[in-house]
Amino acid sequence: MARLLVVEDDQTIGQVLQASLQQHGHDVRWQRTGRDALRDAAGNTFDLALIDLGLPDLDGTEVCRRFREIQPACVLVIVTARAEEMDVVVGLEAGADDYLTKPVRLAELHARIRAHLRRESSANEDAELVEIGQLRIDPAARRVTVADHELSLRAKEFDLMLRLAREPGVAVRRETLMADVWDAQWFGSTKTLDVHVAAIRRKLTEAAGAGQVPEIATIRGHGYRLEPPAAPASG
């Protein structure tokens, strides 16, 4: 769960942003002024902050500049009603990583946040080996093996496999899988997901001769869950 800070003085916009981000599984704090935001940043670590440029007390670019000094690793996204290119440039120079213009389209907001957070986490965690039963996933090499048998997975099949394998035994929502693997807000059919799951299942079945493999269980009306293989019976 990512820790997000919303800095926005407009009550309605702030509420919409906070609620929508929480619905997407983020831990969200909301501050209405630049000073409160900086105070919050001094006491809490955030993964990403959305900063309105038009704040009542401090200029948003000034908030960015100071925020950047307090938390160098936090992703800063400025939100501006001022469409002037100059404001955006000043904001980016003040330390912001990205910007959005008002009115903020939520689908775009979530897509951007996801892209930013993914970039952050891929730098830290993505190389970690995942082992479930005799299935072994090497994210750095993008290889999946069962004993000495290598599964030949296509790019998105690999990403989906890895996503499920990072939380074995956990039911993962379809929307979450679409968002994490396809990096897009998915409004239409999620047929793509089912097709990829079917392909992975087929390849897991083929590999089952080589050793114990997990299964992908369908959770009706919800999503999928990677089931670790049962522990071998003793004796």
Which residue ranges make up the site for Ca ion (CB under 5 A)? 9, 52, 54
Of 6 and 172, which has the nearer Cβ to Ca ion? 6
Nearer to Ca ion, 54 or 168 (CB): 54
Q: In which element (H, E) is residue 146 found?
A: strand 143-146
Q: Rounded to the nearest whole angstrom, what is the least distance from the CB of residue 151 to Ca ion in the complex?
A: 51
Q: Do 150 and 167 touch, CB atoms closer than 8 A?
A: no
Q: Of the two residues 78 and 213, which places its CB atom closer to Ca ion in the complex?
A: 78
**Closer residue to Ca ion (CB): 9 or 227:** 9
Q: How far is the CB of 179 from Ca ion (least distance, A)?
A: 28
- Of 58 and 111, which CB lies nearer to Ca ion in the complex structure? 58
Cβ at position 32, least distance to Ca ion in Å: 9
Q: Could you tell me the two tokens for 96? A: 């912001």
CA 153 vs CA 14, 144, 165, 166, 212: distances in Å: 43, 8, 14, 17, 18
Q: Which residue is nearest to Ca ion (CB)?
A: 54
Closest distance to Ca ion from the beta carbon of 102 (Å) = 9
Min separation Cβ 152 and Ca ion, Å: 52
Closest distance to Ca ion from the beta carbon of 15 (Å): 14
Close Cβ partners of 96 (under 8 Å, ≥ 6 residues apart): 51, 61, 64, 76, 77, 78
Decide: residue 149, CB within 10 A, 0-12 exposed, 13-18 middle, 19+ buried. middle
Specify whether the backbone of 142 is left (phi greater than 0), alpha (psi in -120 to 50) or beta: left
DSSP code of residue 54: B
Q: Smallest distance from the beta carbon of 115 to Ca ion, in angstroms?
A: 25
- How far, in Å, CA of 186 to CA of 179, rounded? 7
Nearest-angstrom CA–CA distance, 1 and 179: 14
Which is closer to Ca ion, CB of 52 or CB of 159? Answer: 52
The β-bridge partners of 75 are 48
Nearer to Ca ion, 106 or 117 (CB): 106
